[in-house]
Amino acid sequence: MRQTLRILVTVAFCALLVGGIGCSRSRTAHTKLSGRVTAAGTPVALGRVTFQPIDGGTTYTQAIRNGSYTVSSRYPIPPGQYDVTLEYSGNSRVGFDRRHTERVTVGPLGRNTFDFHLK
């Protein structure tokens, strides 16, 4: 009985140790994408930015508000090439009636800043 209890305590301790290491890595190792978006020199009031990996995979989307966006993820956003689509409104109508796409390269984990200047 005592042997079984010792084994159970050891297994539980190891599970907590491994789980704790995994959790701390996922909280600190992440990529943050951010930047400013302007159209004709004016910050885009409201829109949406989407980062789509050119080789497929997870798409990351975030709102553009007052000319700024921040895309962060609990899990790492992998380095590589992404097609970035910006959707925004050119007037006061509801919905996004303008669209712009370009390709960017996201660097290693950390902070990546991409500013977009639209015509």
pLDDT in tens, 50-97: 999 999 888 999 999 999 999 887 777 888 999 999 999 876 566 788
CATH placement of domain 31-118: 2.60.40.1120
Of 13, 4, 36, 49, nearest to 115 by C-alpha is: 36
Distance between CA 90 and CA 42 in Å, rounded? Answer: 11
Structural domain spans, the chain? 1-29, 31-118
pLDDT in tens, 16-26: 544 444 444 44
Q: Is the pTM of this model over 0.85?
A: no
